[in-house]
Each structure stands twice: as C-alpha cells, then as structure tokens.
C-alpha cells in the first residue's frame, strides 16, 4: 500500500511478581445507557378483546443466521479487558465476543508469553465458551526496531533452520497452561510491508519456511487447538502478499489488516485495487479458508462515515470468522472524539447487536417502540502514571490515559 502506517507501541517492563489472575477485573453489567432501553419488558401488554374467534397471530420469522463475531482492540494490558465491558455498554449491550491483544516483540522472553497480562485475557476468554481470544505473535525479537534488510534476511534464514523453535514451543506450552489452547494466533502480521522485523520482503522463501516451522513446532505441544491467521496489510505494499503465503497446511484463516488509506482512495478502490479487499476474499475462497479482519479502522481520510458504513456492510456480506476494530486515535470511534460522524455510523449499526436467541412468542398487540438516545461521549483527562495506577484510576474515576501508542 502506498501510504503504509507505522504504529509503535510502548511496552512496559515486566517484573516477576505474584499476581493472581482474577475475573473481578472484568466489569459486570452496568446501568442502562440510553433512555427507553428495557422499558418494553416492563410495559403491560393490553389484553385483546374476546370475540369468540381466536386472534390471528403473525407468523414467526425464521431464525437469523449467526452474526459475525466482533470486538475491538482497546489496549494490550488488563485495562483492555475492563474496557471491553465499557464498549459493550456504549453499544447498548452488544455482544463483544472477540478480544485481541499483542505480545511485545522487543525480546524473546516476551514472545514466549512472559507478560502477565495474558493471565487476564485468558480469564476473560474462559468465562464464555463462545468467546475468541486473538493474539498477535511476532516472528522475531526487536520487531519494531529499524533492522536492516540484510539482518532480517539472516534472521529469517536462522529461523527457517530451527534456531528459534524453543521460543515458540514455550509460548504454546504457556497458552495451554493458561487453558486457552484454541487461541487464534496472528503470526507475523503485515508481513508484506516494511514496518516490522518479521517482514517477508527480504527473503520470501525463508519467511515461508520459517512460518511453517513455527506452526509445526506449536502444533506439536500436547493439548493445543491453535488456529493460525495469515494477515497481510491491504494492497500490494512492499511485496505482493500472495508471494508470502506459506501454504494451506499451516494456515487456518486468511486475514487482512484494512485501514482507510491512502489519502483520497475511495472504498470502491480499496475493494478493486491489486491485492485489495476483493482479492483477499477471492484468494481465501480459492484456498477453502475463512477470512478475518484482525485490524481495521479509520486513518488517512479522517472522520470518514462512508468508509465506516461500507466496511461494516462488507463485513456483513463476507462474514469473516472475526473482526476487530482498532479503537484509538486516529483509527477509532469510541475513544477518539475526532471521528464523531464515523462513530455515529458504527454505534447505530452495532447498537444492541447480539447473537440471536430463542424467538419470543408473538403478541397480537404491537409493543411501543423506543429509539435509544445517544449518550454524550465521556471527556477524560490525560495523565501519565504507571500501568497499574492508570488501570485502577481509570476504572474508578473514568480517567483516560495515553498509554504511549504512537502512529509511525
């Protein structure tokens, strides 16, 4: 893609301390967020007049197809777990079944799963059988540093030869120990760009061999049920992403990170461009794989309500296994007040969207309809404290913190 983004994350330093994972971090159901929500259940239903003939009831509609699983990237830390509940309430109790976080790619110990925030995300996943935990996994350490093509080529060759197998075996064991053996692993994401050390361009053949070796190593761990998601960025970027595809045997899902960029590109062009959205779904169909959108959101074209409307329609049409909006500025809609028009579209489309349950018994008398009233967006003050202080203060006093996400 011509105008590729660069997104750096400031990862905390992890100290070995005795912290017990607790599902108490996940906020429980909150009060109703909009006028009229829930009132229908309390409104008495008038009794139809008896005329000697049974009333004619409307036919029950056919059950709906399951809705695509969705969520948002809110924060990699335990704070992201708490924010999932708040986003759901903003969406009228919508069913957010997908949680996504990243492993830091600074050093091998973190890629092995050392960060303690995995405890909290795994606890969130275990609360419901239908939830999906998505974990972005780097393929090399120093992943967001400016590593030269020559060094990347050398590291990919070493990985292809098995030099880093032990790190991924340990990660697989850690996830099985946490009882999340069915985690979706977005391995080596956006490999067709120039952003990360785990990029494919310097040596595509070594990259594919290395990917296959990582997958084979992790699948060898007893108890695992991992699904591996191959997720390039939309468009050609530095190399056509099809040249990096490692093969059907080691890929379970074909994903795509699809932001609204470059500047001036319409949604129709994003669909039809070489290696764009249409190529993505066609390629997945040819290989018999489901699609996903691990990262998507606004970007170079600002508060683009048309992009938001069209992307949500695209997702509904093609029914990915999951999708997660990136929700921080400039990409987001809930935590980014600079995108009010796109936020209105996102909220109106997904408000109160849940998985279909048992169909209610129809009533001959229609109940009154209530239109949810949007709440004002909370204005919070940016502070810079330690990770844990920010997390607890944010939960208790609605203080929003800038955790160091920077757009490259």
Q: What percentage of the chain exceeds 90 in pLDDT?
A: 69
CA distances from 358 to 40, 91, 129, 344 (A): 18, 22, 18, 29
Read off φ and ψ for residue 389, nearest 5 degrees.
-60, -45
- Backbone dihedral angles phi then psi of residue 70, each to the nearest 5 degrees: -145, 165
Q: What does the pLDDT look like over 145-160, one tens digit per residue?
A: 999 999 999 999 999 9
pLDDT exceeds 60 at position 246: yes
Asked whether the predicted pLDDT for residue 371 surpasses 60, the reply is: no
- How many Cα atoms are found within 13 Å in the side-chain-facing hemisphere of 158? 13
Residue located via tokens 């492993």: 103
How far apart are the C-alpha atoms of 305 and 333, rounded to whole Å?
Answer: 10
The region of weakest confidence among 12-26, 188-202, 213-227 is 12-26
pLDDT at 19: 34
pLDDT at 377 over 80: no
DSSP states of 105-168: -SSHHHHTT--THHHHHHHHHHT-TT-EEEEEE-SSSSTTS---HHHHHHHHHHHHTTTTHHHH
Q: Quote the Cα angle for 376-378-384, to 5°.
A: 165
pLDDT score of 52 more than 90: no
Going by pLDDT thresholds of 50, 70 and 90, the confidence category of residue 62 is: very low
Cβ atoms of residues 181 and 218 within 8 Å? no
d(CA 99, CA 115): 16
pLDDT score of 90 more than 70: yes
- What 3-state DSSP class applies to 73? strand
For residue 199, what pLDDT band results from cuts at 50, 70 and 90? very high
Mean pLDDT for the stretch of residues 337-342? 98
- pLDDT above 90: residue 232: yes
Per-residue pLDDT, averaged over 5-18, amounts to 43
CA distance linking residue 98 with residue 356, whole number of Å: 17
Kindly indicate the confidence band of residue 405, based on its pLDDT and cuts at 50, 70 and 90. Answer: very low
Kindly indicate the confidence band of residue 223, based on its pLDDT and cuts at 50, 70 and 90. very high
Residue 119 has pLDDT above 50, yes or no: yes
Q: Check: CB of residue 36 under 8 Å from CB of residue 51.
A: no
Q: Could you tell me the two tokens for 109?
A: 């110990």
Look at residue 179 and tell me whether its pLDDT is greater than 70: yes
Burial (0-12, 13-18, 19+ Cβ within 10 Å), 128 = exposed
Two structure tokens written together for 287 = 């290989």
């Amino acid at each position: 893609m011509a105008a590729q983004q660069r997104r750096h994350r400031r990862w905390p330093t992890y100290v070995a301390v005795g912290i017990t994972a607790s599902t108490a971090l996940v906020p429980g159901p909150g009060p109703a967020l909009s006028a009229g929500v829930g009132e229908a259940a309390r409104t008495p239903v008038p009794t139809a007049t008896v005329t000697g003939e049974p009333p004619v009831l409307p036919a029950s509609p056919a059950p709906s197809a399951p809705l695509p699983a969705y969520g948002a990237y809110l924060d990699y830390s335990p704070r992201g777990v708490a924010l999932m509940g708040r986003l759901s309430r903003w969406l009228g109790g919508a069913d957010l079944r997908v949680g996504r976080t990243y492993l830091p790619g600074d050093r091998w110990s973190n890629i092995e799963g050392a960060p303690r925030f995995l405890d909290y995300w795994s606890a969130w996943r275990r609360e419901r059988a239908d939830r999906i935990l998505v974990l972005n996994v780097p393929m090399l350490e120093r992943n967001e540093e400016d590593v030269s093509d020559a060094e990347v080529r050398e590291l990919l060759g070493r990985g292809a030869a098995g030099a880093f197998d032990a790190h991924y075996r340990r990660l697989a064991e850690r996830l099985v120990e946490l009882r999340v053996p069915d985690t979706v692993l977005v391995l080596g994401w956006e490999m067709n760009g120039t952003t990360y050390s785990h990029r494919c361009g310097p040596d595509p053949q070594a990259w594919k061999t290395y990917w296959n070796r990582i997958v084979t190593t992790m699948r060898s761990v007893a108890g695992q049920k991992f699904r591996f998601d191959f997720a390039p960025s939309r468009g050609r970027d530095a190399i056509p992403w099809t040249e990096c595809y490692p093969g059907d045997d080691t890929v379970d899902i074909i994903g795509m990170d699809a932001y609204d960029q470059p500047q001036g590109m319409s949604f129709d062009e994003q669909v039809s461009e070489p290696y764009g959205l249409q190529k993505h779904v066609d390629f997945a169909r040819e290989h018999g794989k489901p699609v996903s959108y691990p990262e998507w959101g606004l970007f170079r074209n600002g508060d683009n309500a048309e992009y938001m409307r069209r992307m949500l329609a695209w997702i509904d049409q093609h029914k990915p296994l999951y999708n997660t909006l990136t929700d921080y500025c400039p990409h987001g809609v809930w935590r980014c007040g600079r995108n009010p028009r796109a936020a209105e579209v996102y909220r109106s489309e997904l408000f109160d969207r849940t998985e279909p349950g048992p169909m209610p018994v129809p009533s001959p008398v229609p109940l009154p309809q209530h239109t949810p009233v949007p709440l004002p967006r909370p204005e919070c003050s940016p502070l810079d404290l330690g990770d844990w202080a920010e997390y607890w203060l944010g939960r208790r006093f609605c203080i929003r913190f800038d955790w160091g996400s920077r757009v490259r």
